Amino acid sequence: MPFGLENPKDTIILDFMTEEYVDAHQQLIDNGIPKAQASTVLANLWTQANKKDKAHWAERVAREALAEEEEHEAQHQREIDKEDAKILQEEHCKNKGKFAPVKHIKVPLKPIILPSQNALHKLKAGNFCELWYFTNDGLTDAEQSGACTLDDNYLTLSQTPDRMSSFVPAIIAKDKTPVIQDENLTWEQFEQAALHMVNAMHNHKWRDDHIKMHLRFWTTLENHPWCHSHSKYSIEALLHYQGQQRCHWHQLIATPKVFSLAHQQTEMSCAELDSSTERSKLDSCSQRETCCGALHSSPQFEAVLVQYLSGSFFF
């Protein structure tokens, strides 16, 4: 039976002697109940019904209390589970190797390439990354120094050159490895790094057209006639040109001035290569002059030297 809003314990027995219950009295009398006992019978019936209502009310209160307690416990358990899940997620991020699933893959026969996490952080962001990280020397250094296992999920407080504090990825702050710039690599190191970096670009979801552009750019340089020149300045010029153009591309990638490394104008490329060659010659001669101690470089000397070198070397 449906429960009212009033607790049966709080109800007061009705006065069955009033005119309101005359009809009820008459029904009992018609059924053989003496008139003097009619009010008593009605009171007894009300009392029995009230007892049942009290029992049902008590059961309902008990059920509601139990349900409330169970809901409270369930809510408490949900909060515990939520906190445990948060702790577990943090543990997953902190100790990835502990929770990594085992893949049913055969042990690789080829060497495993594990570059510095600093280099991979740059690639993930699509930023310029020095080729040295992907040379055999760079990969060996990353393995020996542990830079290939640094976690890139954490930030650390670092001081900028202008003495301002800022948060930077921990892998950048911890990786103190001196990096060789592209123009100072050997040609063999360049060839090693180009192949490894292309694979790393694939692994870090670079756009296919970006990967193909770099591949075509590097392939063009590897097939350039200057690669077979007897002069060391030819290789140095190609390496300087490669680093310069790739750096420029990254600087302009988000601007309307961006260009394709795979579609350089032949005339412009030759001019820039010639400029790189003269710069390489000038740097080399300046270093020899400094070591010998005979002369100190001056603007006039450099101008004469450039004029001299431009007519004295052929490729």
What mean pLDDT comes out for the span 232-242? 88
Q: According to the model, what pLDDT value does residue 303 have?
A: 41
- Predicted TM-score of the model (pTM): 0.55
Q: According to the model, what pLDDT value does residue 94 have?
A: 80
Domain boundaries, the chain: 8-92, 117-258
Q: According to the model, what pLDDT value does residue 165 have?
A: 60
Q: According to the model, what pLDDT value does residue 111 have?
A: 76
Longest dimension (CA), the chain: 145
Residue among 215, 191, 203, 207 at smallest CA distance from 134: 191
pLDDT at 48 over 60: yes
pLDDT at 307 over 50: no
Spell out the residues 6+ positions from residue 113 whose beta carbon is closer than 8 angstroms to its own.
134, 139, 196, 199, 200
Q: According to the model, what pLDDT value does residue 217 have?
A: 93
Write b or e for each residue in 36-74: b if 16 or more Cβ atoms lie within 10 A of its Cβ, otherwise e.
eebbebbeeeeeeeeeebeeebeeeeeeeeeeeeeeeee
**3-state DSSP call for residue 38?**
helix
Among 4-18, 82-96, 131-145, 250-264, which stretch is predicted with the lowest mean pLDDT? 4-18
pLDDT at 274 over 70: no
Q: According to the model, what pLDDT value does residue 154 have?
A: 52
Question: Residue 277 — pLDDT band, cuts 50, 70, 90?
Answer: low
What mean pLDDT comes out for the span 94-105? 83
What mean pLDDT comes out for the span 215-237? 87
pLDDT at 194 over 80: yes
User: Pseudo-torsion of CA 74, 80, 86, 91, nearest 10°?
Assistant: -130
CA–CA dist 235, 241 (Å, integer)? 10
Contact between residue 146 and residue 226 where contact means Cβ atoms under 8 Å apart: no
CA–CA dist 179, 138 (Å, integer)? 8
CA–CA dist 129, 119 (Å, integer)? 6
Contact between residue 173 and residue 154 where contact means Cβ atoms under 8 Å apart: no
Alpha-carbon Rg for the chain, nearest whole angstrom, is: 44
Residue among 277, 283, 285, 263 at smallest CA distance from 229: 277
What mean pLDDT comes out for the span 41-51? 86
Which DSSP string do the residues of 184-237 spell out, in sequence order? GS-HHHHHHHHHHHHHHHHHTT--HHHHHHHHHHHHHHHT-GGGG-S-HHHHHH
What mean pLDDT comes out for the span 143-157? 59
Mean pLDDT of the chain: 77
What are the tokens at 296? 């100190």
Structure-token match 């690599």, residue found: 185
pLDDT at 295 over 50: no
Q: According to the model, what pLDDT value does residue 25 have?
A: 78
In this prediction, what percent of the chain has a pLDDT beyond 70?
72
